[in-house]
């Protein structure tokens, strides 16, 4: 029997959106600790949001090339289940925190625009707990752009057992087909369930989860 596809809702900035994501059945919620993002939250805001995440729902804290002390402070104060590195962080940097982390790859970026390049990149991060494959954008993420799933095939065929998270431009109307095409461990969405950057739409969240759960 095919295991159910897990769902991460990313870029939450309001308590009401944490509640909406949890009530809709999200498996994980992402907090963006990257100041240049329209969805960025301060450490103080993140503490309030994190406190509203119940047991059995993972809190994921997301960084882009952050100074190491900022990552360590977030680990100490937020106790996230998972770190997400979404910039150009090296394997050594990601491993230096001795904390579970997901390595995000922006598919289509230089060096990540061929299946071989992606596979080679994955192999550099031996201690990653999961991969997140996102589309490529100048702003690092949250672009609403879709990626070419065919580029992931070689990574999947290489037999790497680590969970693969599909991300990038997913919508309530498109997520089911994306899952059928790539059979990911989980899907991740931000702009596709928003009314405006950082302001999630509870109805779109429910529609997104329903589309995933209906498979
Ligand atoms: O969400 C952001 O604003 C963001 C900014 C900079 C780096 C990463 C960011 N988000 C990371 C995520 O995991 C998003 O969910 C992912 O990029 C997909 O976003 P979307 O295409 O809007 O669904």
Strands 199-200 and 194-196, how do they pair?
Answer: antiparallel
Cross-strand bridge partners of residue 105: 133
pLDDT digits (tens, 9 = 90+) for 39-72: 999 999 999 999 999 999 999 999 999 999 999 9
CA pair distance 207, 173, nearest whole angstrom: 8
Confidence of residue 2 (pLDDT cuts 50, 70, 90): low
What three-state secondary structure class fits 137?
coil
CA pair distance 56, 50, nearest whole angstrom: 13
pTM for the model stands at: 0.97
User: Which of 35, 41, 62, 106 has the most ligand 1 atoms within 8 A of CB, as the residue to mutate?
Assistant: 62
Region class of 212: left (phi > 0), else alpha (psi between -120 and 50), else beta? alpha
What average pLDDT is seen over the chain?
95
Strands 186-189 and 130-135, how do they pair?
Answer: unpaired
Query: Domain 6-213 maps to which CATH number in 1.10.490.10, 3.20.20.70, 3.20.20.150, 3.40.50.720?
Result: 3.20.20.70
* 140 close to ligand 1 (CB < 6 Angstrom): yes
CA pair distance 90, 204, nearest whole angstrom: 35
Q: Which of 10, 27, 94, 188 is catalytic?
A: 10
Ligand 1, atom nearest to 64 Cα: 7
Cα 56 to chain centroid distance, Å, stands at 17
User: Which of 7, 10, 165 has the most ligand 1 atoms within 8 A of CB, as the residue to mutate?
Assistant: 10
* 61 close to ligand 1 (CB < 6 Angstrom): no
Q: Which two tokens stand for residue 198?
A: 């950082």
User: Measured in angstroms, how far is the CA atom of residue 132 from the centroid of ligand 1?
Assistant: 11
Phi and psi at residue 43, to the nearest 5° = -60, -35
Average pLDDT for 186-214: 97
* 89 close to ligand 1 (CB < 6 Angstrom): no
Strands 130-135 and 164-166, how do they pair?
Answer: parallel
Cross-strand bridge partners of residue 1: none
pLDDT digits (tens, 9 = 90+) for 77-104: 999 999 999 999 999 999 999 999 999 9
* 144 close to ligand 1 (CB < 6 Angstrom): yes
Cα 154 to chain centroid distance, Å, stands at 21
DSSP at 40: B
* Structure-model confidence comparison of residues 139 and 42, the more confident one: 42
User: Is 76 annotated as catalytic?
Assistant: no
ipTM above 0.90, yes or no: yes
CA pair distance 137, 122, nearest whole angstrom: 19
């Amino acid at each position: 029997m095919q295991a159910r596809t897990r769902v991460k809702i990313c870029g939450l900035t309001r308590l009401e959106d944490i509640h909406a994501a949890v009530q809709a059945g999200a498996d994980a919620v992402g907090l963006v600790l990257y100041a240049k993002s329209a969805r960025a939250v301060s450490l103080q805001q993140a503490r309030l949001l994190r406190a509203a995440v119940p047991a059995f729902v993972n809190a994921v804290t997301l960084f882009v090339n952050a100074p190491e002390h900022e990552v360590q402070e977030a680990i100490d104060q937020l106790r996230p289940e998972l770190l997400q590195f979404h910039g150009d962080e090296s394997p050594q940097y990601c491993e230096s925190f001795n904390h579970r982390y997901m390595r995000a790859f922006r598919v289509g970026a230089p060096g990540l625009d061929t299946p071989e390049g992606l596979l080679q990149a994955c192999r550099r991060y031996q201690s990653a707990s999961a991969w997140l494959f996102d589309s490529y954008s100048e702003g690092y993420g949250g672009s609403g752009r879709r990626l070419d799933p065919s580029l992931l095939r070689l990574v999947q065929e290489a037999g790497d057992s680590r969970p693969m998270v599909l991300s990038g431009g997913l919508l309530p109307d498109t997520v089911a087909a994306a899952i059928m095409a790539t059979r990911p461990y989980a899907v991740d969405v931000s702009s596709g369930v928003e009314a405006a950057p950082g302001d999630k739409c509870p109805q779109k969240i429910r529609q997104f989860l329903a589309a995933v759960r209906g498979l």
